[in-house]
Amino acid sequence: MTDLDELLVRVKSATGQESRENYLINLEIGKALFGWYLHEHKAFGGYDTDWAEWRWPDEKQVRPMPDFIGSIDAALALTERVLPGWVVSDLCQNSRHAGDPWGCTLAIYFGSAPSKNKSATSGYDFPTAPLAILAAVLTALIDQEAATLQALIGAKE
Protein backbone atom coordinates (compact mmCIF):
# COMPACT_ATOMS: atom_id res chain seq x y z
CA MET A 1 0.00 0.00 0.00
CA THR A 2 1.43 3.39 -1.00
CA ASP A 3 1.27 6.62 0.98
CA LEU A 4 -1.53 7.79 -1.31
CA ASP A 5 -3.50 4.59 -0.71
CA GLU A 6 -3.17 5.07 3.05
CA LEU A 7 -4.22 8.71 2.73
CA LEU A 8 -7.28 7.68 0.69
CA VAL A 9 -8.28 5.27 3.47
CA ARG A 10 -8.04 8.13 5.98
CA VAL A 11 -10.09 10.47 3.75
CA LYS A 12 -12.74 7.76 3.36
CA SER A 13 -13.02 7.47 7.14
CA ALA A 14 -13.17 11.23 7.79
CA THR A 15 -16.40 12.74 9.06
CA GLY A 16 -16.05 16.19 7.53
CA GLN A 17 -16.64 17.79 10.92
CA GLU A 18 -13.92 19.97 12.37
CA SER A 19 -11.59 17.77 14.43
CA ARG A 20 -7.97 17.07 15.24
CA GLU A 21 -8.11 14.08 12.86
CA ASN A 22 -9.22 16.30 9.97
CA TYR A 23 -6.41 18.74 10.76
CA LEU A 24 -3.91 15.87 10.61
CA ILE A 25 -5.39 14.60 7.33
CA ASN A 26 -5.03 18.10 5.83
CA LEU A 27 -1.41 18.12 6.95
CA GLU A 28 -0.81 14.61 5.54
CA ILE A 29 -2.25 15.72 2.18
CA GLY A 30 0.21 18.62 2.14
CA LYS A 31 3.14 16.44 3.18
CA ALA A 32 2.35 13.67 0.68
CA LEU A 33 1.70 15.92 -2.31
CA PHE A 34 3.88 18.98 -1.69
CA GLY A 35 6.45 18.22 1.02
CA TRP A 36 4.88 20.55 3.56
CA TYR A 37 6.26 20.34 7.05
CA LEU A 38 4.96 20.79 10.55
CA HIS A 39 6.47 23.77 12.30
CA GLU A 40 6.68 23.04 16.02
CA HIS A 41 7.12 25.84 18.47
CA LYS A 42 7.37 25.85 22.22
CA ALA A 43 4.22 26.76 24.10
CA PHE A 44 3.92 26.61 27.88
CA GLY A 45 7.13 24.60 28.23
CA GLY A 46 6.12 21.91 25.70
CA TYR A 47 5.54 21.71 22.00
CA ASP A 48 2.42 22.95 20.28
CA THR A 49 1.93 21.05 17.02
CA ASP A 50 -1.34 22.72 16.02
CA TRP A 51 0.30 25.09 13.62
CA ALA A 52 1.66 24.21 10.20
CA GLU A 53 3.35 26.50 7.78
CA TRP A 54 3.54 25.62 4.15
CA ARG A 55 4.24 26.98 0.72
CA TRP A 56 3.79 25.79 -2.84
CA PRO A 57 7.13 24.52 -4.19
CA ASP A 58 7.37 27.41 -6.70
CA GLU A 59 6.61 30.17 -4.16
CA LYS A 60 8.52 31.72 -1.27
CA GLN A 61 5.51 33.03 0.64
CA VAL A 62 4.53 31.05 3.74
CA ARG A 63 0.77 30.60 4.15
CA PRO A 64 -1.70 29.18 6.65
CA MET A 65 -2.64 25.60 5.84
CA PRO A 66 -5.80 25.29 3.71
CA ASP A 67 -8.73 23.24 4.96
CA PHE A 68 -9.02 20.71 2.14
CA ILE A 69 -11.55 18.69 4.13
CA GLY A 70 -13.79 21.60 5.11
CA SER A 71 -13.66 23.85 2.03
CA ILE A 72 -14.88 23.15 -1.49
CA ASP A 73 -12.69 26.02 -2.74
CA ALA A 74 -9.56 24.53 -1.13
CA ALA A 75 -10.35 21.05 -2.51
CA LEU A 76 -10.88 22.50 -6.02
CA ALA A 77 -7.63 24.52 -5.79
CA LEU A 78 -5.82 21.31 -4.83
CA THR A 79 -7.36 19.58 -7.87
CA GLU A 80 -6.11 22.32 -10.19
CA ARG A 81 -2.64 22.20 -8.65
CA VAL A 82 -2.02 18.44 -8.68
CA LEU A 83 -4.11 17.45 -11.73
CA PRO A 84 -3.68 20.25 -14.28
CA GLY A 85 -6.25 19.96 -17.06
CA TRP A 86 -8.64 17.85 -14.99
CA VAL A 87 -12.07 19.24 -14.11
CA VAL A 88 -14.90 18.22 -11.84
CA SER A 89 -17.40 16.69 -14.26
CA ASP A 90 -19.86 15.60 -11.57
CA LEU A 91 -20.27 16.69 -7.95
CA CYS A 92 -23.57 15.88 -6.34
CA GLN A 93 -25.39 14.24 -3.49
CA ASN A 94 -26.80 10.74 -3.90
CA SER A 95 -30.28 12.22 -3.63
CA ARG A 96 -31.82 15.62 -3.00
CA HIS A 97 -32.19 15.22 0.76
CA ALA A 98 -29.93 17.19 3.07
CA GLY A 99 -27.38 14.96 4.76
CA ASP A 100 -27.26 12.37 1.99
CA PRO A 101 -23.80 11.27 0.84
CA TRP A 102 -21.76 13.10 -1.80
CA GLY A 103 -19.77 11.81 -4.77
CA CYS A 104 -17.38 13.31 -7.30
CA THR A 105 -16.05 12.45 -10.74
CA LEU A 106 -13.00 14.15 -12.24
CA ALA A 107 -12.14 13.95 -15.93
CA ILE A 108 -9.97 15.40 -18.66
CA TYR A 109 -12.14 16.72 -21.47
CA PHE A 110 -11.30 16.52 -25.16
CA GLY A 111 -13.67 18.84 -26.97
CA SER A 112 -17.05 18.56 -25.29
CA ALA A 113 -16.80 14.99 -23.99
CA PRO A 114 -14.79 13.54 -21.10
CA SER A 115 -12.00 11.14 -21.95
CA LYS A 116 -12.91 7.59 -21.03
CA ASN A 117 -9.26 6.85 -20.32
CA LYS A 118 -8.73 9.84 -18.04
CA SER A 119 -11.34 9.93 -15.31
CA ALA A 120 -11.60 9.11 -11.63
CA THR A 121 -14.58 8.82 -9.32
CA SER A 122 -14.88 8.85 -5.56
CA GLY A 123 -18.07 6.84 -5.23
CA TYR A 124 -21.14 8.28 -3.52
CA ASP A 125 -20.56 7.71 0.16
CA PHE A 126 -18.93 10.87 1.54
CA PRO A 127 -20.51 13.13 4.16
CA THR A 128 -19.30 16.34 2.48
CA ALA A 129 -18.49 17.61 -1.02
CA PRO A 130 -14.82 18.43 -0.19
CA LEU A 131 -14.22 14.85 1.00
CA ALA A 132 -15.72 13.50 -2.24
CA ILE A 133 -13.44 15.79 -4.27
CA LEU A 134 -10.37 14.73 -2.25
CA ALA A 135 -11.19 11.05 -2.72
CA ALA A 136 -11.52 11.53 -6.49
CA VAL A 137 -8.21 13.45 -6.60
CA LEU A 138 -6.39 10.75 -4.63
CA THR A 139 -7.96 8.02 -6.80
CA ALA A 140 -6.73 9.80 -9.95
CA LEU A 141 -3.22 10.19 -8.51
CA ILE A 142 -3.12 6.53 -7.45
CA ASP A 143 -4.24 5.50 -10.95
CA GLN A 144 -1.54 7.69 -12.51
CA GLU A 145 1.07 6.21 -10.18
CA ALA A 146 -0.01 2.68 -11.16
CA ALA A 147 0.01 3.54 -14.89
CA THR A 148 3.52 5.00 -14.60
CA LEU A 149 4.74 1.90 -12.78
CA GLN A 150 3.12 -0.35 -15.39
CA ALA A 151 4.77 1.64 -18.20
CA LEU A 152 8.17 1.29 -16.51
CA ILE A 153 7.70 -2.45 -16.11
CA GLY A 154 6.58 -2.76 -19.73
CA ALA A 155 9.59 -0.76 -20.94
CA LYS A 156 11.97 -3.14 -19.17
CA GLU A 157 10.50 -6.24 -20.82
> How would residue 55 be classed by pLDDT, with cut points 50, 70 and 90?
low
Which residue(s) pair with 11 in the sheet?
Answer: none
Question: Residue 42: its pLDDT value, please?
Answer: 46
The 3-state secondary structure of 50-97 reads CCEEECCCCCCCCEECCCCCCCHHHHHHHHHHHCCCEEEEEEEECCCC
Highest mean predicted confidence (pLDDT) among 36-45, 122-131, 132-141: 132-141
Name the region of 83 (left: φ>0; alpha: ψ -120 to 50; beta: rest): beta
Name the region of 104 (left: φ>0; alpha: ψ -120 to 50; beta: rest): beta
| Structural domain boundaries in the chain | 3-156
Q: In the Cβ-directed half-sphere of 46, how many Cα atoms lie within 13 Å? A: 3
Q: Are 49 and 40 in contact (CB under 8 A)?
A: yes
Alpha-carbon 22 to chain mean position: 12
Question: Residue 18: its pLDDT value, please?
Answer: 76
| pLDDT for 14 beyond 50 | yes
| pLDDT for 147 beyond 90 | no
Three-state DSSP state, 48: strand
